[in-house]
Amino acid sequence: MRPDVLPIEPISRSNHVALHLAHRWFAYLEAPGGDLNEHLNIFHPNVQLSGHRMNHIFAHDHQSLVAWFASIPDEISSHHVIHSNYSTAENGDGLLNMVVAYQAPGASRMQGSIISYETRIEFSPGAPRFIALGKTPILSNRRSSYETSWSTNRVLARVHAELGGLTGASDSVRRVLGDEVLQLSAQVTAPEGSSEYDAVVSAIMNDPAGVRVVQMRLIDDVGQSMPSIEAAQVIRCSDTSL
């Protein structure tokens, strides 16, 4: 390694939890039929949802957040997280910033934008939740073809829950990936609201250095907070340290 290149740290458990919340948040927006009461559990009772660098407040508590959800059209949409950065505030809160590619098919053309998200997360015992979310469009998304992200966000919500050690999540993925994941991605293109689908989750590992690829079969119900993993097996494991 070059002396001026800093080593990459594995994704921390708190970072996994923050990403779990983010992918749950986006998946709920992308397909109708979610359980609103269950979804509200990932938001602080006095959560603040803002836009345009806090120049506009969409919600400041659960009641106003419910009204905001009701104002969103039921049409399909997609939210691809193309970059994220995580840090810890002085009081221990998590700070997750993301760049997200948003799309929604319109009557005459594709609508879309690249959005900067800034979020703050409180790690309450057994119930991590958003305290604040800010979203600001920074570019137009000119991609003309629609690319679904619902199933990708559902899978990643499940995987990050396991790797973050959340109560109630199984450990089928954790057993094969452990705590040394540097980067994580999922390939799955099931349409919004699918009840079962296959996914491929790829992880770049730290120790031993290499790549692990896990094939999964998932059973899903949009009314549940996450899909369940019916089967998971490693289909590739390479060790680049050799």
| pLDDT surpassing 90 at residue 14 | yes
Check residue 242 and give its pLDDT.
Answer: 38
| pLDDT surpassing 60 at residue 159 | yes
Local structure of 159: helix, strand or coil: helix
Residue 49 resides in a domain:
yes
| pLDDT (mean) for 155-162 | 96
In degrees rounded to 5, what are phi and psi of residue 50? Answer: -130, 170
**48 CA to centre of own chain:** 19
| pLDDT surpassing 70 at residue 239 | no
| CATH code (residue 42) | 3.10.450.50
Residue 184 resides in a domain:
no
Distance CA 5, CA 26 (A): 34
| pLDDT (mean) for 30-39 | 94
| pLDDT surpassing 60 at residue 190 | yes
* Longest Cα–Cα distance in the chain: 56
Distance CA 140, CA 133 (A): 20
Residue 229 resides in a domain:
no
| pLDDT (mean) for 198-203 | 96
More confident residue, 107 or 56: 56
| pLDDT surpassing 80 at residue 154 | yes
Residue 237 resides in a domain:
no
Residue 107 resides in a domain:
yes
What is the residue type of 38? Answer: E
Distance CA 61, CA 80 (A): 26
Check residue 107 and give its pLDDT.
Answer: 81
Check residue 33 and give its pLDDT.
Answer: 92
Instruction: Work out the percent of the chain whose per-residue pLDDT is above 70.
Output: 95
Residue 240 resides in a domain:
no
List, as one string, the DSSP characters of 87-121: EE-TTS-EEEEEEEEEEEE-SSSEEEEEEEEEEEE
Distance CA 151, CA 237 (A): 24
Q: What is the pLDDT of residues 76-132, one digit of tens each?
A: 999 999 999 999 999 999 999 999 999 999 888 899 999 999 999 999 877 899 999
| pLDDT surpassing 60 at residue 231 | yes
Check residue 27 and give its pLDDT.
Answer: 97
Round the average pLDDT of the chain to a whole number and report it.
91
| pLDDT surpassing 60 at residue 5 | no
| pLDDT (mean) for 10-28 | 97
Check residue 241 and give its pLDDT.
Answer: 46
| pLDDT (mean) for 200-212 | 91
Residue 113 resides in a domain:
yes
For residue 137, the enclosing domain spans: 13-171
Alpha-carbon distance values, 125 to 116, 122, 231 (Å): 29, 9, 30
Residue 117 resides in a domain:
yes
Number of domain units in the chain: 1
Q: What is the pLDDT of residues 175-185, one digit of tens each?
A: 888 889 999 99
